[in-house]
Amino acid sequence: MTNAQKTILIWLGVVFLAILSVFFLVSINQKLNTAMTTNTVSFSGEGKVLAKPDVAVVDFSIVTEAVTSKAAQDVNSEKSNKVTDFLKKQKIDDKDIKTTSYNIYPQYEYPRGGIPRIRGYQVSQTIEVKVRNLDNVSSILDGVVTAGANQVSNLDFKIDNPEKLKAEARGKAIEDAKNKAKELKNQLDIKLGRIINFSEGVVGYPVPMYESVMLGKGGGVGGGGPSVPSGENEITINITITYQIK
């Protein structure tokens, strides 16, 4: 056997040993990972927080019709200005008054046997208002209609900053799961190691829980207009904690 052939055999042996070493390392790592993922136990927890809403969001529309598009827009603008002036008198900030849609629609008439023709135009402007003083909601609903709005399409009571309440619900859910872990580890005769996984889900947020309270009798939103009780919103968070079993 020549020196060149011996050199080739040596290099082949080195490569084979290197491949074999990598194979063993990967195999050991897979076994460790498998042991870590299979020798686990999970506990679920639920946390609920009930809170009264602190803001109301009202959507209303001003719909006007006229023979020409300009005339319809002029009438709509006049009513819109009156509504906006009324809201500002109620101490609603500019940032809480927002136009969410503005549409112009041609209005057709269909003479029998004839060609459809435009008889006028309809302008529809939808405005969203955030009311931070819930005592004023009822009077604002009444006032915007008096000022020129002719459609109220939505009234929603919300929590302006829900993250603080979510954190509170999350804390209750974690405490619930850890209490279950303490109770069950003895019943299952296991020793818990470190937490290796955590998952969270928000359920049923927000769920309005309306109170049957009329204006002026406590719990409802006052102001002399329609009865609009604010109720409560519920935030529910479910979590799962997975422990490694020692």
Q: For 40-90, how does the pLDDT look when each residue is reduced to its tens digit (9 = 90+)? A: 889 999 999 999 899 999 999 999 999 999 999 999 999 999 999 999 999
Q: Span 213-234, mean pLDDT?
A: 54
What does the pLDDT look like over 127-185, one tens digit per residue?
Answer: 999 999 999 999 999 999 999 999 998 898 988 888 899 999 999 999 999 999 988 88
CATH homologous superfamily of 40-52+162-245: Protein of unknown function (DUF541), domain 1 (3.30.110.170)
pLDDT of residue 91: 93
pLDDT of residue 233: 85
What does the pLDDT look like over 193-208, one tens digit per residue?
Answer: 899 999 998 765 444 4
pLDDT of residue 47: 95
* Strands (E) located in the chain: 40-51, 55-66, 97-109, 117-131, 151-158, 192-209, 232-245
pLDDT of residue 70: 96
- pTM, 2 dp: 0.62
Query: Which of these CATH numbers, 3.30.413.10, 3.40.50.2300, 3.30.70.2970, 3.40.50.720, describes 55-158?
Result: 3.30.70.2970
CB-based contacts of 108: which residues, under 8 Å, 6+ apart? 116, 117, 118, 119
Q: Domain-by-domain residue ranges, the chain?
A: 1-38, 40-52+162-245, 55-158
Residue 30 scores a pLDDT above 90:
no
What does the pLDDT look like over 228-237, one tens digit per residue?
Answer: 777 788 889 9
Question: Residue 231's closest CA among 111, 86, 134, 163?
Answer: 134
